[in-house]
Amino acid sequence: MTRGTPPAPPASRPPRFPLALKQVSGGTRAPVGEVLRPQAPLQHAAATAAQQAAGRHQPSGLGLDSAAVRQRMVQRLHADGIRVDAVLQAFATVERHRFVDTALATQAYEDTSLPIGLSQTISKPSVVARMLALLFDGATARAQGHLGRVLEVGTGCGYQAALLALLGRSVVSIERLKALHDKARENLAEHRHGDLRLVYGDGRLGHPPRAPFDSIIAAAGGEDLPAAWLEQLAIGGRLVAPMQDAARGGQGLLVVDRRPEGLQRQWLDAVHFVPLKSGAA
Ligand code: SAH
């Protein structure tokens, strides 16, 4: 502005107080259906007292709000199209922040993948939810309302294994990196839901002692589908795995159903997972 030029008049007058009623109403409004809970602080106080009485450790950064934050994550998953109640319920139950480093705990309920050490990552909640919902669309899962006998390849920090333990009748989860296998064992120690077995080894070989499986899910993307997974897939069973899709020139989600008449494959979403490697380390 040049010296001497008078300042431009304000485009609109600032509101004067007290405001007229019409200026106060009609602003932002809670969405229809959302229940306001003015007594929440009292509920929190009661919960604190109960937890302190039980001598439970509070996670730093999230504290008592973690159930509420998790609920918001579940609402986002629902808005994104995840409609399998059991899956949404499992996400509301498992405390994702307990599976990542304390420094990352505040990001645990964002839709993001997070490092879990050794160049590996815990997958984004939306992708995990999508894969679990796809498993629920397998013939046996649809008939039974649960995932039955489950094989997970790539335990990582154990988060998805904890979800699977709530969704299947029995779960075998394999990890090829000993340090992560041990970490998952530690993370899941106080989280034993149902029949969950953690195995250290090469998941490309599946787990013959507990085969066949009704649901097989991989958390690492390979170049080709290991023969053992197909051999260990029960009739009526479904496999969901990230895999290199030559036609796409990148990774895609591969879904394989074993029908009485044979195998049926379909390629779905483009994805990006850490590599499926051979052997254990
Ligand atoms: N589901 C995990 C995600 C882990 S990332 C979670 O919730 O944290 C994928 C994992 O697959 C890595 O830990 C990696 O070491 C493991 N992995 C890669 N190839 C594997 C193989 N052949 N057998 C078993 N685990 C494998």
**Per residue in 96-113, pLDDT tens?**
999 999 999 999 999 999
> Which listed residue (66, 123, 173, 215) is catalytic?
123
**Per residue in 7-25, pLDDT tens?**
444 444 444 444 444 444 4
The pLDDT value given to residue 61? 53
More confident position, 42 or 153: 153
How remote is the CA of residue 127 from the centroid of ligand 1, in Å?
15
**Ligand 1: does its nearest atom lie under 6 Å from the Cβ of 66?**
no
The pLDDT value given to residue 190? 81
**Ligand 1: does its nearest atom lie under 6 Å from the Cβ of 174?**
yes
Which of 11-20, 33-42, 191-200 has the least mean pLDDT?
A: 33-42
Q: Say if residues 166 and 138 touch (Cβ distance below 8 Å).
A: no
- State in words which class domain 62-270 has: alpha beta
Residue 32 has pLDDT above 80, yes or no: no
Alpha carbon distance, N-terminus to C-terminus of the chain: 68
**Ligand 1: does its nearest atom lie under 6 Å from the Cβ of 156?**
yes
What value does the mean pLDDT of the chain take? 84
The pLDDT value given to residue 137? 98
How remote is the CA of residue 277 from the centroid of ligand 1, in Å?
9
Annotated active-site residue 123? The verdict is: yes
Q: Measure the CA–CA gap between 271 and 138, rounded to whole angstroms.
A: 20
Q: Which long-range contacts does 54-61 make (Cβ < 8 Å, 24+ apart)?
A: 59/95, 59/97, 59/98, 59/102, 59/105, 60/102, 60/105, 61/97, 61/102, 61/105, 61/106
- CA distances in angstroms from 130 to 137, 233, 241, 255, listed in the order given: 11, 20, 11, 12
How remote is the CA of residue 69 from the centroid of ligand 1, in Å?
26
Q: Measure the CA–CA gap between 116 and 107, rounded to whole angstroms.
A: 13
Give the three-state DSSP class for 154.
coil
Protein residue whose Cα sits closest to atom 19 of ligand 1:
276
Residue 268 has pLDDT above 50, yes or no: yes
